[in-house]
Amino acid sequence: MDTVSNAVHYVFLGTAACFVLGLHLMNHPRTARRGNAISAGAMAVAIAATVWLVIHEDTITTTGWLVLVSGGLIGAALGLYAAREVKMTAMPQLVSLFNAVGGGAAALIAVNDLLQADHPAALGARVSLPGALDIVIGAVTFSGSLIAAGKLQGVVSGAPVVFPGARLLNVLLPASFVAGTVWLVLSPDSLGALYGLVAVALLFGVTMVLPIGGADMPVVIALLNAFTGSAVAMAGFVLNETALIIAGMLVSSSGGILTKLMADAMNRSIANIVVGGFGTGDSAPAAVAGGAPAQVRPVSADDVAIQLAYASKVIFVPGYGLAAAQAQHELGDLAKLLSDNGVDVSYAVHPVAGRMPGHMNVLLAEANVPYTQLKEMDDVNPEFPQADVALVIGANDVTNPIARKPGNAISGMPILDVDKAKSVVVIKRSMGHGYAGIDNELYTDPKTGMFFTDAKKGLSELKSAVGEFVG
C-alpha cells in the first residue's frame, strides 16, 4: 500500500467511527439531529477521499469519469428531490425505496466485480463467495423493497397477494440460491451461474413480499433494512473495503433489532410474518361468544368535548386510522388547546402504530407535538387508571382487551391498557374490524362512547366544541 491509499484508509476508519457516534447520538431527540449531521459530514469526507484515491490510482478512463460524475449528480438530484417532496405519511415508502437502491447498488458492485476480473477463476472463494451472497441478498432486497414500496403507495395491492404455488416457489427459490451460489463459487467465470443467480434472487424478492399484508409492513421494512446492510457488507468483502463492512453491519444490526422489536410488539415470530399469516385470511376470525350483536353507545362531538374540557388528564391513543386520514395536525391542535387550559395531555404510542417502526411519532412530531408528551407503551400503561378520558383515534387491535385472554388471533399481543381509563372515547368511521379481523371488546364496554366519524373531521369538530367550553 502506498501513502495515498494508506491515508484514504485512515479517513475511512474515521468515517466509520463517526457513523457509530452519529447513531449513538440518535438515542435522544435533543442530540439526534447533530448525530445525523456528523454522520453526513463523515460520508462527504469519505466520498471526497475516494475521489482522491481514484485520481491517484489513475486507472479510470474518461468514460469512467463521465459515468462516475454524471451518475453521482443524477442520483444526488433524484435523492434530494424525493427527500424534500415526500410527505411524512409517505415516509415508509421512501425508506423502502432507499433500501431498494442501496441493495441494488451492492448487487451491481458484485456483478461488475465478477465480470471485470480477467480471470475470475483466479479470484478464489475469497471473492466469489461474498460476491454470490452479495448478489443474492442485494437483488432480493432490491425487488422486495420495490414491492413493499408499491404496496405502501397503493400501486401494488396492500392485501396479501397469494397465487397458486407461491409457497412451493418460496421453498424452491432459496434452494436454487444455494445451488447457484455453490455453482458460482466453483466456477466464478460462468456467466450462466451469475445471471441465473441474479434472476432467481430478483424473483424471490417479489414472491417473498407479495403475500405479506399491509399490517406487517413495519416488520418487513425493518427486515429489508437489515438485508440491505448485509448486502453492503458483502460488497465490502468483495472490494476489500472495511468501511463498507463496518457501515453495512451497523445498519444490519439496527434493522435486525427493529425487526425483532416489531415482531415482539405483534406477538409473532419473524418467520411467521415472512411466511404469511395474520391478515392473510388464513387465521380464521375468532368466533365471538354469544350470537346477539353487542350494544355500543354512540356519542356526539359535544358529549366528548364536555368530557375533554373538564378532564384533568387525557391520554390520546393514535393509530393507523389517524395516519390514513392525515389528521395529525387536527389532533395536535386539539391537544394544544387542552394543555393550554391546564389539562394534562399525553399520547400513548404502540410500537407498531403506523407503517414502519416509530412512524406515529414522526407524524405527531410533524404536527408540533412536543416529544415530552409522546409516551411508549410500557411507560404509559400504568397511567391509564388515572386518566379521565382515553381518546382512541383509529387504533383497533392494539387496544383490544381480548389480547389478554387466550385462544384468539391476538392472544398475548402487548396492548395499550385503554380499557383501564375512567372513560373511553373511540373515534372510528364504522364498526369495521382491524387487521386481525376480530371484534374489539373495548367498543362494547359500558364506559366507552363511540364517535362515528372520519378522524380529521371528528377532531376539528371536537376542537371547535372544546373551544366553546374553555373560550
Partner 1 sequence: MNELDLLTAITVFVLSVLVGVEVISKVPATLHTPLMSGSNSVHGIVVIGAMLIAAESHTWLGYVLAFVAMVFGAMNVVGGYVVTDRMLEMFRARPSEKKDV
Point out the residues that are catalytic: 397
CB of 108 to partner 1, least distance (A): 4
- Can residue 318 be called a binding residue for partner 1 (CB under 8 A)? no
- Can residue 199 be called a binding residue for partner 1 (CB under 8 A)? no
Q: Which residue matches cell numbers 373511540?
A: 426
Site for partner 1 in 406-425 (CB under 8 A): none
Q: What does the block give as the cell for 54?
A: 481514484
- Can residue 279 be called a binding residue for partner 1 (CB under 8 A)? no
Site for partner 1 in 354-373 (CB under 8 A): 354, 356-359, 361-362, 365-366, 368, 370-373
Of 249 and 299, nearer to partner 1 (C-beta) is: 249
Q: Distance (Å, rounded) from C-alpha 418 to C-alpha 400?
A: 8
- Can residue 198 be called a binding residue for partner 1 (CB under 8 A)? no
Given a contact cutoff of 8 angstroms between Cβ atoms, the answer to whether 259 and 269 are in contact is no
The one-letter amino acid code at 73 reads L
- Can residue 62 be called a binding residue for partner 1 (CB under 8 A)? no
Of 21 and 169, nearer to partner 1 (C-beta) is: 21
User: For the CA atoms of 419, 288, 437, 429, what is the dihedral angle to 10 degrees?
Assistant: -60
- Can residue 95 be called a binding residue for partner 1 (CB under 8 A)? yes
CB of 87 to partner 1, least distance (A): 11
Options 97-105, 172-180, 200-208, 385-393: segment touching partner 1 (CB under 8 A): 97-105
Of 27 and 269, nearer to partner 1 (C-beta) is: 27
Contact map string, positions 65 to 94, toward partner 1, x by CB under 8 A: --xx-xxxxxxx-xxx-xxx-x-x--x--x
Of 81 and 469, nearer to partner 1 (C-beta) is: 81
Site for partner 1 in 10-39 (CB under 8 A): 15, 19-20, 22-24, 26-30, 32-33, 35-37, 39
Q: Which residue matches cell numbers 432459496?
A: 174
Contacts 24+ apart (CB under 8 A), 441-448: 441/400, 441/401, 441/402, 442/392, 442/399, 442/400, 442/401, 442/418, 443/294, 443/296, 444/294, 444/295, 444/296, 445/401, 445/419, 446/297, 447/422, 447/423, 448/296, 448/297, 448/419, 448/423, 448/424
Contact map string, positions 380 to 409, toward partner 1, x by CB under 8 A: ------------------------------
Strands of the sheet containing 313-318, edge to edge, are 374-376, 344-349, 313-318, 389-393, 423-428, 448-452
Given a contact cutoff of 8 angstroms between Cβ atoms, the answer to whether 425 and 307 are in contact is yes
- Nearest in space to 222 (alpha carbons), one of 398, 355, 133, 349: 355
Site for partner 1 in 237-266 (CB under 8 A): 237-258, 261
- Can residue 214 be called a binding residue for partner 1 (CB under 8 A)? no
Q: Distance (Å, rounded) from C-alpha 446 to C-alpha 43?
A: 57
Instruction: Name residue 425's beta-bridge partners.
Output: 391, 449
Which of 5, 6, 10, 40 is in the footprint of partner 1 by CB under 8 A? 40
Site for partner 1 in 441-470 (CB under 8 A): none
- Can residue 147 be called a binding residue for partner 1 (CB under 8 A)? no
Q: What is the total count of residues that contact partner 1 (CB under 8 A)? A: 121
Of 170 and 253, nearer to partner 1 (C-beta) is: 253
